[in-house]
């Protein structure tokens, strides 16, 4: 299953809810203001690193670039473009957008 989060982890509980619900082996894609969660030094870096023990974490590259943070992605998080976004949705049988 693909989980998509679009809210900043420091101002909204969507990422926490997502990480709590996501089963091992699931994929998580961070887009829009959720890309901040994938940046080194953010207070939730530890949370993301822990999640990567059994989840795959992706981040949408154009949203990172827009926010001036392309060079700060946490090691192990994969950056994808819009094409990669589409491929993730196709590769997974279902998908949950955490609003």
CB-CB neighbours of 33 under 10 Å: 18
* Beta pairing partners, 97: 4
58 binds another protein (CB under 8 A): no
39 binds another protein (CB under 8 A): yes
Return the structure tokens found at 6: 């679009």
78 binds another protein (CB under 8 A): no
Shortest Cβ 60–another protein spacing (Å): 9
Residue choice 13, 17, 21, 43 for contact with another protein (CB under 8 A): 43
Shortest Cβ 96–another protein spacing (Å): 19
Return the structure tokens found at 70: 């392309």
Question: Is residue 32 within 8 Å of 4, Cβ to Cβ?
Answer: no
């Amino acid at each position: 299953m693909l989980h998509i989060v679009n809210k900043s982890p420091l101002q909204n509980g969507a990422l926490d809810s997502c990480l709590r619900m996501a089963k091992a082996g699931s994929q998580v894609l961070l887009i829009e203001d959720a890309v901040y969660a994938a940046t080194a030094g953010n207070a939730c870096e530890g949370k993301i690193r822990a999640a990567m023990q059994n989840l795959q974490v992706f981040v949408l590259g154009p949203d990172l670039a827009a926010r001036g943070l392309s060079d700060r992605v946490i090691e192990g998080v994969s950056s994808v473009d819009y094409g990669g976004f589409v491929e993730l949705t196709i590769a997974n049988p279902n998908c949950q957008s955490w609003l």
